[in-house]
Structure 1
């Protein structure tokens, strides 16, 4: 299996070349084009019906499409719904990658997708109450994630705190811890335009995106037609 990303970072297209019998799982609606592959639709990840409901609450689809190459091999091209970048992360057995809702694009067949409840931290963050959790059950797997805008990888080092606006988070490894807080005092929270942030500590990696979809929606809202007008 070979992966190629074209037209990044603004309008990224992920193309997966599959050997005979190889499979790739992807979010419904992500396919742009394909050749010599068979598509099947089923529930994503583990946990049965309740697991599917949890994944929906995490911003992921209840179903997932699996593309399997025919006897001669094939390829499938995938793209995220918003203009932005596509990245990948190699998952070793026993490790997890946590993604913000809607950041999951695709994964190899041995990667499972679940969700993890954030508790009250998610409620106060203004984002989803759930993170998407990706993990490999057998062998090394690969998960492909997308962003709105470009992606930047930032290292979290011991003794240093990384502060990220909640709307700019893409993903983070499971060896960092986070809390929800604010930048500055109450006046900054109300009038500073930054809102709540996530504060990461430990030793790991965080991926951030250069644009915020919620901020764009807020900017466009005054120009949208109102009901009854």
Structure 2
């Protein structure tokens, strides 16, 4: 499978060339164009399940991804006996990043940052803790495991930050991070636990403190800040 990321970093799209019988999973609504010979199968965003009870479980898992994680309830599988080309574009203007999983590595990504994947890559919904839920800054994560390729999109540009020790970043700017690191969510400026004063009046909301050795990918813009800026003009 070959891929190209074009028109980046501000308005990137992903072009994937599928070999015969290769399969690409993509977020619903992301397809820009495709080769006519390719087949597209739509299914719930909760794995390939069989049997009645498995399908019921898959429905509620997809429902949670939609209303808690900001993902689509459905995904599309592109494949074909002759192969072909698929072009995907995320909803937001920004960069697309490619990561490869080898079956041993775990990658956490913001749930809304998932664009597409191949191979045996599996994604599970994970929460960043109670404080991240009340913070409203999107610390609902996807835990990516397995073997294959993953493509991740951002709002704005992406910067890779090597971490060896401690690193603090606003939760709204996190795109992805290596799964071997530990993290905790706290109010900006607080040295210990949760500070109500910092949370309410600093204008910074919540931050994530990473510990260990690994990499964190951050985006140059904050979608929550954009929503807050636009909302007064909608009334």
| TM-score bucket (shorter structure) | 0.7 to 0.9
Segments of 5+ residues of structure 2 without an aligned counterpart are 48-56
1:147 aligns with 2:145: no
| RMSD of aligned alpha carbons | 1.9
Q: Say if 1:99 and 1:132, in contact at 8 Å, map to a contact too.
A: yes
Which residue is 2:86 aligned to?
76
Q: How does 1:163-182 map to 2 (within 5 A)?
A: 163-182=168-187
Segments of 5+ residues of structure 1 without an aligned counterpart are none
DSSP 3-state at the match of 1:21: coil
Q: 1:126 aligns with which of 126, 129, 136?
A: 136
Distance 2:85 2:31 in 1: 11
DSSP 3-state at the match of 2:111: coil
Q: How does 1:13-28 map to 2 (within 5 A)?
A: 13-28=13-28
Q: Say if 1:153 and 1:206, in contact at 8 Å, map to a contact too.
A: yes
- Cα deviation per residue 1:62-83 (whole Å; 9 max; x = unaligned)? 2210011342x21000010010
Distance 1:39 1:61 in 2: 16
Which residue is 2:41 aligned to?
40
- Cα deviation per residue 1:79-126 (whole Å; 9 max; x = unaligned)? 100100000111121332111121000000321122123331432442
Distance 2:31 2:45 in 1: 16
Task: Calculate the TM-score normalised by the size of structure 2.
Answer: 0.86
Distance 2:101 2:62 in 1: 22
Task: Calculate the TM-score normalised by the size of structure 1.
Answer: 0.88
Structure 1 position 45, deviation (Å): 3.9
1:87 aligns with 2:81: no
Which residue is 2:50 aligned to?
none
Distance 1:23 1:58 in 2: 24
Q: Say if 1:121 and 1:179, in contact at 8 Å, map to a contact too.
A: no
Structure 2 CA distance for partners of 1:51 and 1:220, relative to 1, 3 Å: closer
DSSP 3-state at the match of 1:102: helix
1:62 aligns with 2:91: no
DSSP 3-state at the match of 2:10: coil
Aligned residues: 219
Q: Say if 2:117 and 2:151, in contact at 8 Å, map to a contact too.
A: yes
Q: 2:221 aligns with which of 188, 211, 222?
A: 211
Structure 1 position 154, deviation (Å): 0.9
Structure 2 CA distance for partners of 1:5 and 1:129, relative to 1, 3 Å: closer
1:8 aligns with 2:8: yes
